[in-house]
Amino acid sequence: MSVILRGAVRLYYYLNEEIADEKTQNWFLMRTPWPGLAFLVVYLLTVKRWLPAYMSSRPPYDLRLLIAGYNLVQIVACVYIVYHSLALGWLNHYALVCQPVESGPLAEEYAWKVCYLYFLVKIVDLFDTIFFVLRKKENQVSFLHVYHHFGMVMVSWGIVKWVPGGHGSMLVAVNSFVHVVMYTYYLLTTWDEAYKRSLWWKKHVTQLQILQFTLLFVHFVSLVVAPAQCRYPRPPAYLLIPQNLFMVILFSDFYYRAYVKKPKST
């Protein structure tokens, strides 16, 4: 037992200290994983137990103005992230495959304006679920929804902690662009109910999600098959390849059930 405990302590020290990126270690929530994990546990308890119990005997809240403001903030933040992803990296000097996490003059700016802000936005994304529960839209709080939001907080934390830039940060740019489109759609639906009834919008937003995870799956596969001298670590790919494949499967299943499969006639 003592050998197992010493091994666990050694692994924790290795992950939390030895291979952590020095630029980001002292940023809020980045020193250790425990505050972030505690926050996610509170999120799960809130949306699955505490808030549904609170709403069980209450009418749904009208949050249209609040949600409109929230969507607008999301759009601005995601546009900011996409712009700096391109200006500081992907349209500047980043290579499409095997781009290492740099230590040059733009490294800390990229880590802060792109990766860390993306992590903070993923935390703010959790309010999506809270709004669903407060509006009594429990059908929207699906496994796919909760898993995706929970998982993206963990993935974005890992990016900031270990690899704030380089090959893996393509995920940040692509996902933030998709969220610009998605939250624009959500903003429109708060003002005009006709957009909610438009299968054209909803269908293509889902298609964009599937395309996103497919591109990211291919992008991380390219890292695994890259030449041995590639200076970007491969372990993130071993985690994100199955993660993105799983998301492709989940979103494709949702797309099939929502837009392809015909309802049974009664």
Q: Are 99 and 230 in contact (CB under 8 A)?
A: no
Rg, Å, the chain Cα set: 20
What's the confidence (pLDDT) of residue 196? 61
The pTM assigned to this predicted structure is 0.92
* Beta-carbon count within 10 A of 236 CB: 20
How confident is the chain (266 residues) per 10-residue block, as mean pLDDT?
81 90 95 95 96 95 94 98 97 93 90 98 97 93 93 96 96 97 89 62 87 96 91 94 94 88 56
First to last CA, the chain: 61
* Residue in 84, 93, 145, 148 annotated catalytic: 148
Instruction: Please give the structure tokens belonging to residue 199.
Output: 């299968």
For residue 46, the SS3 value is helix
Supply the pLDDT for residue 123: 97
Is 93 an annotated catalytic residue? no
Can you give the pLDDT at residue 193? 65
What span, in angstroms and rounded, lies between the C-alpha atoms of 164 and 81?
13
Q: What's residue 266's pLDDT?
A: 42
